[in-house]
Amino acid sequence: MRFDEIVIRTERLDVPALAAGDGPIVVCWHGFPDHPASFGPLAERLVAAGRRVVAPFLRGHHTSTVDAMPFGDGLTLAADAAAVNAALSGEPLDVIGHDIGAGVAGRLAATRPDLVRRVITMSVPPPATLRRIFDEPEQQQRFFYLFLFQVPGVAEELLNDKLISYLWRTWSPGLEVPAHVTEMYADPAIRANALKLYRANFDRSLHDPALAGLAPLAEKPAEIPMLVLAGADDGCITPDNYAGAATGLAPGSRVEVVAGGGHFLQLDRPDEVAALALDWFR
């Protein structure tokens, strides 16, 4: 998929993004360890169906924003997403979020439903139910990297090509890490910002105090129905973790387990995801 790189000028930040196609906009938010270009196979199918795909870089994950990340909390990313939607259109937009981007999309829908038309999240349960997965020792083991990233010095040393390759291969069996991901995380500053996202889960000094008032709203079920996609073969968050997802979703929402899909559904099963997305957006 051939993307153009654009800059979305918002009230919060000039957000670099990859974009392709013409028509109604679908905003796609990436996760870790990933890059907007990984939406390429899915974008190709959405563009062929008459949509414009805009895939922003998370704050701090592009050379132009690498020094613009004092905070790493989910509300910061959701506020960025709200600013992006407002800058792109005067109408609510369709949003897809994968991995960390799923949390971005879910919190955006919960805090600014006026900016969102339809929402799809992939590979992570909704924010309102996500905490429960930490109750299972098996899932804690799969989350070893999350706890590893809290250790200063050790995390910086071990977040390298070898670990990233391991995560990709175990999260989506048979899938090798793309070159664009390896190139992104070769930058020590971007690796440091990725660690900041994970450390903000435990370190409240990395939460923007100006957004604290949104926290109770952000963790409640969004008013907008969501399509939640899980990979049947996801080696990061297994499908059984979605069993209680309905309690964190608005009426009319759906949870779909994609057969043969790993964690990186946009690459594993782009045909199936595109078909589900286009149907949901209709």
Identify the helix (H) or strand (E) that includes residue 63.
none
**Dihedral sign for Cα atoms in the order 169, 180, 256, 222:** positive
Task: Give the HSE-up count for residue 217: Cα atoms under 13 Å, Cβ half-sphere.
Answer: 14
Q: If you search the block for the tokens 């020792």, which residue do you land on?
A: 137
CB of 247 closer than 8 Å to CB of 129: yes
Residue 123 has which token pair? Answer: 């590979």
Single-letter amino acid code for the residue at 59: R
Strands 14-20 and 93-98: unpaired
Nearest to residue 218, comparing CAs of 149, 130, 133? 130
Integer Rg of the chain from CA: 17
Partnered with residue 6 across adjacent β-strands are: 17
222 DSSP assignment: P
Q: Please report the pLDDT score of residue 135 as a whole number.
A: 82
CB of 27 closer than 8 Å to CB of 112: no
Q: Please report the pLDDT score of residue 128 as a whole number.
A: 66
Q: Please report the pLDDT score of residue 136 as a whole number.
A: 83
Residue-wise pLDDT tens digits, 125-170: 887 677 677 888 999 999 999 999 999 999 999 999 999 999 999 9
Identify the helix (H) or strand (E) that includes residue 256.
strand 254-258
Residue-wise pLDDT tens digits, 39-67: 999 999 999 999 999 999 999 999 999 99
Q: How far is CA 156 from CA 33, 59, 188, 256, in A?
A: 14, 19, 8, 36
CA–CA distance, 194 with 66 (Å, rounded to integer):
10
Q: Please report the pLDDT score of residue 213 as a whole number.
A: 93
CA 268 to chain centre: 16
Per-residue pLDDT of the chain (282 residues), as tens digits, is 899 999 999 999 999 999 999 999 999 999 999 999 999 999 999 999 999 999 999 999 999 999 999 999 999 999 999 999 999 999 999 999 999 999 999 999 999 999 999 999 999 988 767 767 788 899 999 999 999 999 999 999 999 999 999 999 999 998 999 999 999 999 999 999 999 999 999 999 999 999 999 998 887 888 999 999 999 999 999 999 888 787 778 999 999 999 999 999 999 999 999 999 999 999
As separate numbers, helices (DSSP H) first and strands (DSSP E) second, the chain gives 13, 8
CA–CA distance, 279 with 282 (Å, rounded to integer):
5
Helical ranges in 56-178 per DSSP H: 74-88, 100-111, 127-130, 137-142, 144-148, 154-158, 161-171
For each of the domains in the chain, give its residue range(s) and CATH number, in order of start. 4-281 (3.40.50.1820)
Nearest to residue 278, comparing CAs of 63, 96, 60, 17? 96
**Dihedral sign for Cα atoms in the order 109, 112, 113, 118:** negative
Identify the helix (H) or strand (E) that includes residue 237.
none
